[in-house]
């Protein structure tokens, strides 16, 4: 017993040496610090930073700031920058890139202009020390970015401006650091600038031209290995950070560029994005915030009046400079006060880049200990201020968005959207479910229904059990994106009536089903299953053949018939196509009538999304083959059809999937049948037998003739 007690005392000697105990303590801090701060309406980030101050070597010395802490801290800051690049709305960023450049100029030059004379003439430092310290004011770290990400306002224009400005100003400051170090060592020459410029160009070309192609190939080849996708992404992030360090930039620049390079390949609602955010926000990013606190030396307060003067002056200049940059940006671009708060909150925190600049300057004997200690206090103060401002402003913007949604038509059905996914084989469910998860309204409380129709025969019970076991894995797939899903296995004599019955019973808004198999000659005479589904299901119907992962598509080519905007299901399918384009970050090329185009544009405006949309007037539906000139191999071809008797129905739409198979066999495609009231359905098991349509018989005779011709051609020597 004494031995156990002795070992226990030894394990708790400070600083702690047991890796298990250290990790346990940090996990407890990550768990309880945000909860404790929430009782005082303070951001959880502050609790993590303050906890780091308390347990760090400059506080109670509970945990040493060793290589393990440094490793996790490095992963955390790289993770923050990677997620910032990954979540950046590229469409909005391209649209407002000039604004990002202007904000980047403000947030770089204003703190520099204010900081240099203060350090030079008030604090009395020389040129190198004053200029390097002033450039430190220009840097900022997105410490409070997890707040805007968690509250769901990361797509706001103010966030795009700040993230874009961050990478510009941090890159500029780190280049200045390299220049000052070169100057102090006497190694500044024309060769230095040429080498740096060429290195940056080669790095950018590799990240934006090579990495996306490798990632696309990997995601296609390893489509079923979902965990391998996450490992691959992590490898890309850290390799990019390493390359960035090799060429003379900070690793955080490489991590951000990796996020931009993979942005289009990782949709916001995908399971992979959910894994990235979950692990980062649960472990690595909190580790970084605790490590930031561990750098703070509270004893600076007792180190004498000069240390306090320097710390107070640096903190004041840093806050004022960033606030002026945010204020100037707000007034030039006519943003709201809350958007100004987001800009100031995100750009006002100093951490990784700031510490990197000051530590390098201190080690090079350019800066003294007062600047170093003052910077540590500055980091604590600015992180607390920026977290408070960011959370308050983000909540205000979130409330405004919710209020605007209350009057939108999408809000009226947001809690009642019901999507059914069904396929003829279990192996086809994965891609269909992925599509459903991407286009599903995130505010809907209804689960996605995975439906399997089992033939009602002697082996029905056995087949039901097999079907449920096969489909159970797709529940896990949906859960990975935090979307509820349930399985329905039903009995029926044919698939069409089974799908139609379940769609009515569950009041489904949308049915997503797989592409029909190649028709047999008997199907052409008596009516195939797909025709029965189209006639029986009076809901919005998506018939899909996804030849490749959705993230590999570069465009959505949409073809709609005249009067498509008058169909009852127009609003829903338009919302889904727009949402899919937004998730995949791809443009929409719409071929259709000008009236349909106007209605489509109005819907984009009402939804308030940032997507690239191009319209081409097209009315020659009799010449359907002409679409082969417009559709490219990496496009997703979406064709809007109509049921017989609806307002936008045309004869050319009959057997549309045959034509698409013939002319666009290798291309991913979706046929949309908008919702139509008054479709007759019945329980007759033989309702699909239909001998009347002349065109079906002609198709059958054409197929028979082709088969006979091929037979005799083979017989010829």
**Choice between 41 and 617, residue whose per-residue pLDDT is larger:** 617
415-545+687-717: CATH topology is: Rossmann fold (3.40.50)
What local confidence, expressed as pLDDT, does residue 274 receive? 85
pLDDT at 300: 65
Read off the pLDDT of residues 552-588 as tens digits, 9 standing for 90 and up: 889 999 999 988 998 888 999 999 999 999 888 899 9
| Intrachain domains 415-545+687-717 and 547-669+676-681 with the same fold | yes
Instruction: Return the domain boundaries, the chain.
Output: 14-398, 415-545+687-717, 547-669+676-681
Task: Please give the distance of CA 163 from its chain centroid, rounded to a whole number.
Answer: 15
Looking at domain 547-669+676-681, its CATH superfamily turns out to be HUPs (3.40.50.620)
The mean pLDDT of 384-399, rounded to a whole number, is 87
Q: What is the model's pLDDT at position 431?
A: 83
For residue 435, how many other CB atoms are within 10 A of its CB?
Answer: 22
pLDDT of residue 157: 83
Q: Greater confidence, 363 or 659?
A: 659
Least confident range from 385-389, 393-397, 522-526, 607-611: namely 522-526
Whole-number pLDDT of residue 425: 63
pLDDT for 395-435, tens place per residue?
A: 888 887 766 555 444 444 445 788 988 876 655 677 888 88
pLDDT of residue 352: 64
pTM above 0.85, yes or no: no
> What is the C-alpha end-to-end distance of the chain, expressed in Å?
96
* Average of per-residue pLDDT across 205-228: 87
Q: Among candidates 455, 535, 452, which has minimal Cα distance to 492?
A: 455
Across 500-526, average pLDDT: 72
> Architecture of domain 14-398 in CATH?
Up-down Bundle (1.20)
Stretch 439-454: mean pLDDT:
83
pLDDT at 78: 87
CA 524 to chain centre: 44
User: Has residue 11 got a pLDDT over 60?
Assistant: yes
- Name the residue with higher pLDDT: 542 or 311: 542
Overall average pLDDT of the 454-483 stretch: 75
577: left (phi over 0), alpha (psi -120 to 50) or beta: alpha
How far CA 300 is from CA of 30, 61, 119, 305, in Å, comes to 27, 16, 19, 10
Is pLDDT of 679 > 70? no
Beta carbons of 499 and 533 less than 8 angstroms apart: yes
Sorting pLDDT into bands at 50, 70 and 90, what band is 20? confident
Residue 482, helix vs strand vs coil = coil
At residue 507's C-alpha, the angle toward residues 505 and 512, to 5°, is 100
Tokens 């129709």 belong to residue: 453
pLDDT per residue over 161-196, tens digit each?
888 787 778 777 767 766 766 666 555 667 777 887
Name the band, by pLDDT with cuts 50, 70 and 90, for residue 72.
Answer: confident
């Amino acid at each position: 017993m004494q031995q156990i007690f002795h070992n226990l005392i030894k394990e708790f000697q400070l600083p702690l040496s047991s890796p298990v105990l250290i990790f346990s303590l940090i996990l407890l801090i990550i768990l309880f610090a945000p909860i404790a701060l929430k009782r005082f309406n303070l951001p959880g980030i502050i609790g993590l930073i303050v906890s780091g101050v308390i347990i760090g070597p400059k506080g109670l010395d509970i945990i040493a700031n060793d290589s393990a802490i440094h490793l996790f801290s490095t992963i955390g800051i790289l993770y923050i920058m990677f997620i910032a690049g990954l979540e950046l709305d590229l469409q909005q960023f391209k649209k407002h890139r000039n604004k990002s450049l202007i904000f980047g100029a403000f947030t770089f030059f204003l703190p520099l202009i204010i900081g240099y004379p203060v350090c030079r003439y008030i604090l009395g430092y020389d040129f190198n020390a004053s200029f390097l310290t002033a450039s430190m004011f220009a840097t900022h770290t997105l410490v409070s970015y997890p707040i805007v990400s968690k509250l769901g306002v990361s797509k706001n224009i103010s966030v795009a401006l700040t993230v874009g400005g961050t990478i510009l100003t941090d890159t500029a400051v780190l280049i200045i650091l390299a220049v000052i170090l070169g100057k102090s060592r006497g190694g500044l020459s024309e060769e230095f600038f040429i080498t740096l410029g060429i290195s940056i160009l080669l790095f950018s070309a590799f990240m934006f031209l090579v990495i996306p192609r490798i990632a696309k190939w990997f995601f296609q080849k390893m489509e079923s290995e979902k965990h391998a996708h996450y490992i691959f992404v992590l490898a890309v992030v850290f390799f990019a950070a390493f390359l960035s360090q090799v060429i003379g930039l900070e690793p955080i620049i490489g991590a951000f560029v990796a996020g931009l390079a993979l942005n289009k390949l990782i949709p916001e609602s995908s399971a992979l994005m959910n894994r990235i955010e979950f692990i980062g926000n649960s472990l690595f990013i909190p580790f970084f915030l605790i490590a930031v606190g561990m750098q703070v030396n509270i004893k600076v307060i007792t180190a004498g009046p000069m240390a306090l003067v320097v710390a107070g002056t640096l903190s004041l200049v840093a806050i004022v400079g960033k606030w002026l940059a945010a204020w100037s940006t707000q007034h030039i671009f006519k943003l709201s006060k809350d958007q100004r708060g987001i800009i100031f909150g995100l750009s006002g925190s100093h951490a990784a880049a700031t510490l990197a600049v000051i530590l390098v300057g201190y080690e090079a004997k350019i800066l003294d200990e007062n600047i170093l200690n003052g910077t540590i206090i500055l980091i604590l103060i600015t992180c607390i201020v920026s977290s408070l401002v960011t959370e308050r402003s983000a909540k205000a913007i979130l409330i405004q968005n919710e209020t605007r949604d209350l009057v939108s038509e999408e809000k009226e059905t947001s809690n009642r959207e019901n999507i059914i996914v069904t396929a003829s084989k279990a192996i086809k469910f994965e891609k269909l479910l992925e599509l459903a998860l991407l286009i599903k309204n995130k505010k809907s409380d209804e689960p996605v229904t995975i439906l399997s129709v089992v033939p009602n025969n002697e082996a029905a019970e056995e087949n039901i059990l097999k079907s449920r076991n096969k489909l159970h894995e797709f529940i896990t797939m949906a859960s990975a994106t935090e979307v509820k899903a349930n399985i329905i296995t039903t009995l029926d004599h044919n698939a069409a009536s089974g799908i139609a019955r379940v769609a009515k019973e569950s009041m489904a808004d949308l049915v997503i089903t797989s592409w029909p198999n190649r028709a047999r000659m008997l199907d052409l005479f008596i009516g195939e299953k797909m025709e029965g589904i189209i006639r029986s299901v009076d809901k919005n119907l998506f018939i899909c053949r996804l030849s490749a992962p959705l993230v590999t598509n570069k465009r959505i080519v949409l073809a709609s018939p005249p009067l498509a905007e008058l169909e009852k299901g127009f609003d829903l399918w338009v919302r889904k196509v727009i949402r899919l384009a937004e998730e995949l970050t791809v443009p929409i090329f719409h071929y259709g009538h000008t009236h349909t185009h106007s209605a489509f544009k109005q819907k984009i405006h009402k939804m308030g999304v940032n997507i690239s949309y191009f319209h081409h007037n097209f009315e020659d539906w009799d010449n359907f083959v002409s679409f082969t000139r417009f559709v490219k191999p990496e496009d997703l071809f979406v064709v809007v059809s109509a049921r017989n008797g609806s307002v936008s129905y045309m004869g050319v739409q009959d057997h549309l999937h045959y034509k698409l198979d013939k002319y666009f066999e290798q291309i991913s495609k979706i046929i949309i049948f908008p919702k139509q009231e008054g479709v007759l359905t019945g329980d007759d098991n033989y309702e699909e037998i239909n001998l009347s349509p002349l065109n079906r018989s002609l198709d059958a005779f054409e197929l028979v003739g082709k088969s006979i011709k091929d037979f005799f051609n083979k017989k010829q020597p």
